[in-house]
Amino acid sequence: MRVGAFVAGYTPDAGGGYTFETDILDGLIDLADETPHEFKVLSPPDSVHSLQRRLAGSNLTAHSLRTGPFDRLKTAMLRKMPMLRAHWRRKSALDRVAREAGVDLIWFLGAGAHLTDLPYITVVWDLQHRATPWFPEMSASGMWDSRELANDWFLRRATAVVTGTQAGREELERFYQLQPESIRILPHPTPRFAMQKQAPREAAARVLRRLGIRGDYLLYPAQFWPHKNHVNLLHAVELLRSRHGLDFELALVGSDKGSRQHVESVARKLGIASEVHFLGFVAREDLVALYQSAVALTYVSWCGPENLPPLEAFALDCPVVATRIPGAEEQMGSAALLVDPSNPEDIANGIANVYRDQELRSKLISAGSARARKWTARDYVRGVFSILDEFEPVVRCWRPA
CATH code assigned at 156: 3.40.50.2000
Domain count, the chain: 2
| Residue 54 sits in the same domain as residue 152 | yes
Tell me, yes or no, whether 222 lies in a domain: yes
| Residue 132 sits in the same domain as residue 227 | no
Tell me the C-alpha distance between 24 and 308, whole Å.
Answer: 13
pTM value is 0.91
Return the SS3 of 37: coil
Measuring CA to CA, how many Å separate 147 from each of 72, 75, 127, 301, 316?
A: 11, 11, 9, 20, 35
- List beta partners, residue 336: 320
| Residue 179 sits in the same domain as residue 196 | no
| Residue 14 sits in the same domain as residue 51 | yes
Which pLDDT tens digits describe the chain residue by residue (401 residues)? 999 999 988 777 777 888 999 999 999 999 999 999 999 999 988 888 888 888 988 889 889 986 544 445 444 544 545 555 555 556 788 999 999 999 999 999 999 888 899 999 999 999 999 999 999 999 988 889 988 988 999 999 999 999 999 999 999 999 999 999 999 999 999 999 999 867 788 999 999 999 999 999 999 999 999 999 999 999 999 999 999 999 999 999 999 999 999 999 999 999 999 999 999 999 999 999 999 999 999 999 999 878 999 999 999 999 999 999 999 999 999 999 999 999 999 999 999 999 999 999 999 999 999 999 999 999 999 999 999 999 999 999 987 75
Tell me, yes or no, whether 275 lies in a domain: yes
Tell me, yes or no, whether 401 lies in a domain: no
| Residue 211 sits in the same domain as residue 131 | no
CB 188 within 8 Å of CB 372: no
| Residue 337 sits in the same domain as residue 391 | no
